[in-house]
Amino acid sequence: MNNRDTESVTRLLREWSAAERTACSCGPGAALLQHLEKEMRATQLDREIQRVFPWVAAAALAAAVILAWLNLSTLQDPHSHPLDTLFGLPQPTLEESLSANL
């Protein structure tokens, strides 16, 4: 390919690119902007959920651990009330529990 060919092709490509750039000089259409606006709102909501999710998950996990612990302590001593265990109240003895029930 000689220099003349290169120059010719280059000139044609410049003409083509000028025409394509002119065709693309109208800016974004309303439909695109509207779609992007919706997308931005959806993405922001996702981000909020992702931000809050670890706290919600941590709270749920903590609740699950407390409930499991309460159940466990109730199993160990079926006469004690779970909340007594939780708040450190004195546990009734077996005799006290039996006399209370009688």
Residues that bind another protein (CB under 8 A): 1, 5-6, 8-17, 19-21, 23-29, 32-33, 35-37, 39-40, 43-44
Non-local CB neighbours of 92 within 8 Å, separated by 6+ positions: 79, 80, 100
| Cβ pair 73, 87 in contact under 8 A | no
Q: Which is nearer to another protein, 6 or 71 (CB)?
A: 6
Q: Which is nearer to another protein, 6 or 99 (CB)?
A: 6
The least distance separating another protein from the CB of residue 21, rounded to whole angstroms, comes to: 5
Amino acid at 25: S
The least distance separating another protein from the CB of residue 53, rounded to whole angstroms, comes to: 16
Q: What are phi and psi of 16, to 5 degrees?
A: -60, -45
The least distance separating another protein from the CB of residue 49, rounded to whole angstroms, comes to: 14
| Cβ pair 97, 79 in contact under 8 A | yes
